[in-house]
Amino acid sequence: MTPHFAVLSATALALSLGTALAEDQVHWAYEGPGGPDHWGELSKEAGACAIGLEQSPIDLTHGIGASAPPVALAWNAEATWSVANNGHTIQANGTNAGKMTVDGKDYDLLQFHFHHPSEHAIDGQHSPMEVHFVHKAADGALAVLGVMLVGGGAEGPMDAIMQTAPQTEGEVPLGTADLSAFLPEKPGFFRYAGSLTTPPCSEIVLWTVMRDPVAVSDASLAAFATLFPMNARPLQAAHRRFILEN
């Protein structure tokens, strides 16, 4: 059954493929000389990291209530995936992975990746992890879903990913994965205009972050934390942006 989530009708804003693209251009990290406080100094293309006014992640609080048309997820349960350790996160790359339809426009699912702890906060509280699903339309526009992850869940696709993921940089086959296990039962979400959370921090992202978390196994959380003790950008100022909540 195709999951449906309500989202705001808006012009699609492009989202970079997260950690997969930026690392080819600049050397950056989550601490030390290449850490977030220095991202804006790494290259002229990354200047927005230091001076941008619509940076991500942010604390999702004081949302303005809104109703909107649905987003339809038609992810392909038979899609084949590979799992990469790119030095910044664990990322799953798919082929023929299905699509997300936003306000009548189709976006193909390309990849998803993880952050520990969550990059966004909800009402001031971070979750143990956050997963970002990145989709791309035929015209190059991208759309993303973010879902908070907590422990205490049963063994599932997160365990298979972490059991397969390389311990050092590299990429290996995974096979199929039931991505519906990463979706919360309730459709509440936050929506705001923001940026990439890695260099070059371009302010081209329309974020949709689900309000309710999904439980994964404690073992899978621990396995990711062992590889990446901290791979989340600090919270950024919201400035004058609206945070919409459905």
Strand boundaries in the chain, DSSP class E: 4-6, 59-60, 64-65, 70-75, 80-85, 90-95, 98-102, 105-115, 121-122, 129-136, 142-150, 170-175, 189-194, 205-210, 214-215, 244-245
Residue 35 has pLDDT above 80, yes or no: yes
- Domain residue ranges of the chain, discontinuous segments joined by +: 4-245
Q: What is the pLDDT of residues 127-174, one digit of tens each?
A: 999 999 988 878 877 788 999 999 999 999 999 999 999 999 999 999
Per-residue pLDDT, averaged over 13-37, amounts to: 64
**CB-side exposure of 58: number of CA atoms within 13 Å?**
26
Please tell me the predicted confidence (pLDDT) of residue 13: 35
Please tell me the predicted confidence (pLDDT) of residue 68: 63
Average pLDDT, the chain: 87
What CATH class does 4-245 carry? alpha beta
Please tell me the predicted confidence (pLDDT) of residue 71: 76
This prediction's pTM: 0.87
Query: Please, are residues 79 and 95 in contact by the beta-carbon 8 Å criterion?
Result: yes
